[in-house]
Amino acid sequence: MMSYKRGPRCWWPHLVSKALSLAISYALTLSLREKGKEMYASAGCLLSLHHSEKPEHEEVCEFRPYTCPCPGASCKWQGSLEAVMPHLMHAHKSITTLQGEDIVFLATDINLPGAVDWVMMQSCFGHHFMLVLEKQEKYEGHQQFFAIVLLIGTRKQAENFAYRLELNGNRRRLTWEATPRSIHDGVAAAIMNSDCLVFDTSIAHLFADNGNLGINVTISMC
């Protein structure tokens, strides 16, 4: 398990955050745009869109490159889906992986001040899932925790799974069940819409033990 301390504004939208890569791909994008082609046509996208429709499509296009899924990290890597796991194993060695459908994601020191991410990997059903717990102040003066599961895979693959996050305490249980997000979509939009397990510091303390919070994570096929 790995925790990152983040600056207050790490969650730029996809691609826009990747200033460096953007600069490199800018010339290519421009020339493709002039020819009326979709930005990721060379990567396999066959759509032919009107000029005004392109930016919106490119945001969700399955053929745009995958960026490093580590939340809040400054890693500028991007590449194909197949290259994501090798990248994580090579460049983010400190992220723990647990095998199995039912594991415990133990976030230590949840009282660390400021914006913090806890990240680990879960491997089951022949796939890798990234578990993210993020602490941030979406509303000033009100710190909240957001927990979510991402599939290292496409949006379509993600629809074949369901996940359950469970906090267990003294005669109390809080459970969130949903479909994993694809790392192609990332966690920012989910957190923006509270489309994940959301709880505040008071709830965290109801379930934490000595500043450590255990989240039961169960993945299933559906």
> Is the Cβ of residue 85 or residue 203 nearer to a second copy in the bound state?
203
Using alpha carbons only, what angle is made at residue 220 by residues 216 and 222, rounded to the nearest 5 degrees?
145
State whether residue 220 is helix, strand or coil.
Answer: strand
Convert residues 172-191 into a mask of x (bound to a second copy by CB under 8 A) and - (unbound).
Answer: xxxxxxxx------------
Convert residues 121-140 into a mask of x (bound to a second copy by CB under 8 A) and - (unbound).
Answer: ------------------xx
State whether residue 145 is helix, strand or coil.
Answer: strand
Residue 202 as a binder of a second copy (CB under 8 A): the answer is: yes
Give me the sign of the Cα torsion angle 150, 156, 157, 158: positive
Q: How far from chain centre, in Å, is Cα 120?
A: 11
Residue 156 as a binder of a second copy (CB under 8 A): the answer is: no
Q: How far from chain centre, in Å, is Cα 164?
A: 16
Q: How far is the CB of 200 from a second copy (least distance, A)?
A: 6
> Is the Cβ of residue 26 or residue 125 nearer to a second copy in the bound state?
125
Q: How far is the CB of 133 from a second copy (least distance, A)?
A: 17
Q: In whole angstroms, give the CA distance from residue 151 to residue 175.
A: 19
> Is the Cβ of residue 31 or residue 175 nearer to a second copy in the bound state?
175
State whether residue 8 is helix, strand or coil.
Answer: coil
Residues that bind a second copy (CB under 8 A): 139-142, 162, 171-179, 193-195, 197-200, 202-203, 206
